[in-house]
């Protein structure tokens, strides 16, 4: 009949990789004339960039190899290697490229390779692809993967055309996670995860056809992956979809929103830049007040203090606008929830917000200021930073529950409760988040602009030992063998 007992599954280890090349945003503000105080508050302090010898796949392989070594994983137990990314540069292969690199590096160390009987899927849905990869691994472990282990790696490069509002929100990095039964860091209650999705059109997209349109990114001398994005509309999409995913999660766990936000130990979000999750958390709390009658007096009081019309706020919060229909009608500049967002902006300034909301988002937040936007990797990176910081501060987290909220433009969101397990400290001690940030080379303006625009970048040499590199790119195009554009990789001992 099989084993029908409930299975506790979750994460036992995490590992971060970021490139060494770094742009200090205070210097970037000097170059561009932007306000440093505003950039630091809204965006962060710095971001990383891929070097010419690196790719999205080398970053992912670096994080996976570090995970295997840091947690002394037996590679033969890995039966699932999932890759979440929106920066894939091969329209055929994905996670198998990462497996190939890691296998050969393990060969050189005299260690076993990852299991030959290993699934190697890639997942794409903007910044949510990593969460979908995580959920697939959880389902695999709960069903045909019982007794084995899974690795999920999230990796991306976020790049924007120079001179656009997205330029300071760039970044690059990868996070690998070890999943198994009876986890050693935190368990994931994926049976009570909340899901939401709705098509939003021109929210944040990367259509292939843009490469062939006149006027697109003309200053860049080589391949690039700048997205098409829509400022305020994209922000509205993020907040709206997170609200719907959390509503679904709260229904499944049968929790009142206000009670949940008071009792949960913390919250981790997809984090494209510093201010975005702050706005989302404030919105979630206020929208939660609108869901139950006995919470309405608190919402009405906050509306009154904010100078907002309570009736309009309540109507907005209980509505479900078709945001894409507004785009189709040519309404792309307006605020979807104008009265409600006035309240959100005020609420962020109150002691109540600091006490109930902001205090839930402090773990790891300062470390994330030096990371930039990692797309799929931004949520797991914040989780890793948070638990490493908790360890350093001596916080006791065993048994405490957190909520994780992922988001992918286009758009969709996932909200999942996680619970810290006994003995989490030993696993957290091996994350090595701060250590990953130590390799840092600050770029001068001319270096940054040349690297960004795919121009010649002379005089930038540094130690690449312990890293995967792109050794060469194939050019063969004969009748019997072709490897045009195929990257060949090498591990530098």
The bridge status of strand 204-205 relative to strand 467-473 is unpaired
- Percent residues over pLDDT 90 in the chain: 84
Upper half-sphere CA count for residue 294 (Cβ side, 13 Å): 4
| Per-residue confidence band for 5, with pLDDT thresholds at 50, 70 and 90 | low
Residue 317 lies in a domain: yes
Task: Decide if pLDDT at 211 tops 50.
Answer: yes
The residues, any chain, with a CB within 8 Å of residue 460's CB and separated by 6 or more, are 21, 51, 441, 447
Q: How far is CA 470 from CA 126, 140, 473, in A?
A: 25, 32, 8
Of 107-111, 319-323, 379-383, the one with minimum mean pLDDT is: 319-323
Residue 319 DSSP class: -
CA geometry: angle at 130 spanning 127 and 133, to 5°? 140
Q: State the helix-helix crossing angle for 445-452 and 25-32, rounded to 10 degrees.
A: 90
Task: Decide if pLDDT at 23 tops 50.
Answer: yes
Phi and psi based region of residue 74 (left: phi greater than 0; alpha: psi -120 to 50; beta: remaining): beta
Average pLDDT, the chain: 94
pLDDT at 1: 37
Phi and psi based region of residue 59 (left: phi greater than 0; alpha: psi -120 to 50; beta: remaining): alpha
Distance CA 428, CA 184 (A): 9
Tokens of 484: 């045009």
The predicted model gives 89-113 an average pLDDT of 97
Residue 1 lies in a domain: no
| Per-residue confidence band for 223, with pLDDT thresholds at 50, 70 and 90 | confident
Q: Provide the CATH number for the domain around residue 482.
A: 3.40.47.10
Of 112-121, 159-168, 330-339, 427-436, the one with minimum mean pLDDT is: 330-339
Task: Decide if pLDDT at 4 tops 60.
Answer: no
pLDDT at 476: 95
Residue 323 lies in a domain: yes
The residues, any chain, with a CB within 8 Å of residue 68's CB and separated by 6 or more, are 75, 102, 106
Do 55 and 470 meet the contact criterion of CB atoms below 8 Å apart? yes
Do 175 and 379 meet the contact criterion of CB atoms below 8 Å apart? no
Higher per-residue confidence, 354 vs 242: 242
| Per-residue confidence band for 6, with pLDDT thresholds at 50, 70 and 90 | low
Q: How far is CA 469 from CA 2, 56, 180, 219, in A?
A: 45, 11, 30, 27
Sign of dihedral through CA atoms 180, 183, 187, 191?
Answer: positive
Residue 353 DSSP class: I
Residue 355 DSSP class: I
Residue 170 lies in a domain: yes
Sign of dihedral through CA atoms 382, 30, 27, 459?
Answer: positive
Task: Decide if pLDDT at 219 tops 90.
Answer: no
Residue 2 lies in a domain: no
* Residues 333-368 as b or e (16 or more Cβ within 10 Å = b): eeebbebbbbbbebbbebeebeebbbebbebbbebb
Q: How many structural domains does the chain have?
A: 1
Residue 128 lies in a domain: yes
Task: Decide if pLDDT at 277 tops 90.
Answer: yes
Distance CA 430, CA 426 (A): 7
Residue 4 lies in a domain: no
Residue 238 lies in a domain: yes
What is the per-residue pLDDT across 25-68, written as a single tens digit (0 to 9) for each?
999 999 999 999 999 999 999 999 999 999 999 999 999 999 99
| Per-residue confidence band for 2, with pLDDT thresholds at 50, 70 and 90 | very low
The pTM assigned to this predicted structure is: 0.96
Task: Decide if pLDDT at 458 tops 80.
Answer: no
**Cβ neighbours around 415 below 10 Å, total:** 28
Can you give the residue range of the structural domain that contains 120? 9-492
């Amino acid at each position: 009949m099989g084993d029908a007992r409930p299975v506790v599954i979750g994460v036992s280890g995490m590992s971060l990789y970021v490139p060494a090349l770094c742009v200090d945003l205070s210097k970037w503000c000097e170059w561009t004339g932007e306000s440093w105080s505003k950039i630091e508050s809204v965006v962060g302090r710095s971001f990383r960039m891929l070097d010419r010898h690196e790719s999205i796949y080398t970053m992912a392989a670096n994080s996976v190899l570090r995970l295997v070594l840091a947690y002394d994983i037996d590679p033969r137990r890995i039966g699932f290697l999932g890759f979440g990314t929106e920066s894939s540069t091969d329209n055929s292969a994905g996670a198998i490229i990462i497996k190939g690199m890691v296998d050969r590096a393990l060969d050189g160390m005299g260690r076993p390779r990852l299991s030959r009987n290993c699934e190697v899927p890639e997942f794409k849905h903007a910044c949510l692809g990593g969460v979908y990869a995580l959920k697939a691994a959880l389902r695999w472990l709960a069903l045909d993967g019982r007794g084995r282990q899974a690795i999920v790696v999230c990796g991306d490069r976020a790049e924007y055309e120079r001179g656009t509002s997205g330029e300071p929100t760039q970044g690059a990095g990868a996070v690998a996670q070890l999943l198994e039964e009876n986890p050693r860091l935190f368990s994931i209650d994926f049976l009570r995860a909340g899901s939401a999705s709705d098509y939003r059109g021109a929210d944040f997209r990367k259509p292939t056809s843009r490469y062939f349109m006149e006027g697109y990114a003309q200053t860049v001398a080589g391949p690039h992956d700048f997205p098409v994005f829509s400022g305020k509309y994209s922000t509205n999409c993020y907040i709206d979809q997170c609200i719907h995913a959390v509503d679904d999660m709260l229904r499944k766990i049968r929790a009142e929103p206000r009670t949940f936000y008071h009792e949960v130990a913390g919250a981790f979000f997809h984090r494209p830049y510093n201010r975005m999750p702050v706005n989302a958390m404030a919105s979630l709390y206020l929208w939660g007040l609108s869901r139950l009658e006995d919470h309405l007096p608190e919402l009405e009081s906050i509306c009154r203090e904010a100078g907002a019309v309570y009736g309009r706020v309540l109507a907005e919060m209980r509505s479900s606008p078709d945001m894409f229909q507004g785009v189709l009608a040519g309404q792309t500049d307006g605020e979807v929830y104008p009265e409600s967002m006035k309240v959100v902006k005020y609420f962020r300034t109150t002691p109540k917000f600091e006490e109930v909301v902001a205090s839930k988002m402090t773990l790891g937040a300062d470390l994330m200021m030096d990371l930039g936007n990692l797309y799929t990797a931004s949520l797991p990176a914040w989780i890793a930073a948070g638990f490493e910081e908790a360890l350093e501060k001596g916080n006791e987290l065993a048994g405490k529950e957190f909520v994780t909220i992922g988001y992918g433009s286009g758009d969709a969101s996932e909200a999942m409760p996680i619970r810290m397990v006994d003995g989490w400290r030993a696993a957290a001690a091996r994350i090595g988040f701060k250590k990953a940030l130590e390799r840092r080379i600050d770029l001068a303006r001319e270096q940054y602009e040349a690297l960004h625009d795919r121009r010649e970048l002379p005089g930038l040499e540094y130690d690449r030992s312990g890293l995967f590199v792109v050794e060469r790119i194939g050019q063969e195009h004969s009748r019997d063998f072709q490897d045009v554009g195929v990257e060949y990789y090498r591990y530098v001992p």
